[in-house]
Every structure is written in structure tokens, then in C-alpha cells.
Amino acid sequence: VSQSRYQVAEEIINGSEDVVKLIATVYEFKGNYFVIDEAQQGTKRPKAGIQSPSEIRALGAKLPIPVDTGLLGREARAALERFDIEPPAYDSWQPKELTKQMVGWLGARGFATIVKNSRMVKLRQMLQTGKIAVFPGDNHQAHPWYGLLEDKALMLEGTCRDEELGDVILQAFALS
């Protein structure tokens, strides 16, 4: 991945003017990829104005490993396009319900199992530029916390082919 991709991703992390974004998450767990749709917390505010933090909304796709990169990219792009079409079923102050929802989608015993045994990639597409940033997640491997490795974000043009997006998602998993 070229250094310019890291520089562009850094703009997104460090306060780019393009604050409105589409967000999706992909988990790798128990031999599958799970594409998770997201939406802004609270009332539906479709893709306009000041953006609230996002919350999980729906299971968009479950794909077996190994996966065709075109299919993975297509499902991830579809999840980005579905961002904020409906509000989340639960609010951020309902962590028990949100956790139960995620556990059910992934077929885990509990959220601690997901944290310990999964890998995660977060996608953010900037509406103004169309660029897609792909952030690898860390589940206590590189750091003693569960979160994004923002310094390793990969960047793509929003017009990229589905195969390219799927390939970059797999590259991000390799970094986590």
C-alpha cells in the first residue's frame, strides 16, 4: 500500500472538512465474514448535516471464508450505501441489548468471545470526496485494548471496483 494512501487516511482521522460519512463494519469470526450495517444513534438523519456517532443496525451479509473478493467488496459497498436508512433498534445507552443483538448475528456465546476470537475492519466513506477508508481493528493483539488501528488505515477511491475493495478489506484483516 502506498504512503499516499496513509496520508489521505490521516486527513480523515485528523479533522478533514468532509465530516459526513457512510460507515460499515466487517467481522471475521468462526470461519465467516459478517458485514454489519450501521446508522447514526437516535433519530434518523439521512446523510446530511452534523453527524452523530454510529451504532450497529443490521446484519447485512454472512459470507464463508474463503470468500471471493468481488463478493466481499460488493457486500461491503452495499452496507455503506445502506448506512442510516433506518435508525438502530437500540440506543447507545442500551448496551445489553446491542451486545445481545451482535452476539446473535455472529453466533457467539457472548461479547467477550467476539472480542477475544474475532477480527474487525471498519469502513468509512466520505460523502464529499467519495473516498473509502478501511481501518483494521485490534482485539488486544497490537495494543492492550479493543479498537481501530487508525495509523494503518488504507484508502481507496469510491469508484474502485468491488474486487479492489474486497482485496483491501482482506489486506486490512492481515494488518489486524
User: pTM to 2 decimals?
Assistant: 0.84
Return the ∠ at Cα 174 (arms to 142 and 151), rounded to 5°: 50
pLDDT given at position 145: 67
Q: Please tell me the distance from the alpha carbon of residue 45 to that of residue 88, in angstroms, as a whole number.
A: 12
pLDDT tens over the chain, length 176 residues:
444 444 444 454 444 555 668 899 999 999 999 999 998 876 555 555 556 677 889 999 999 999 999 999 999 999 999 998 888 888 888 889 999 999 999 999 999 899 888 999 999 998 888 999 999 987 766 666 667 877 888 999 999 999 999 999 999 999 87
pLDDT given at position 65: 97
pLDDT given at position 99: 92
pLDDT given at position 8: 44
Q: Are 54 and 25 spatial neighbours (Cβ–Cβ below 8 Å)?
A: no
Q: Are 58 and 156 spatial neighbours (Cβ–Cβ below 8 Å)?
A: no
pLDDT given at position 97: 93
Cell of 146: 479493543
Cell of 171: 489486506
pLDDT given at position 107: 96
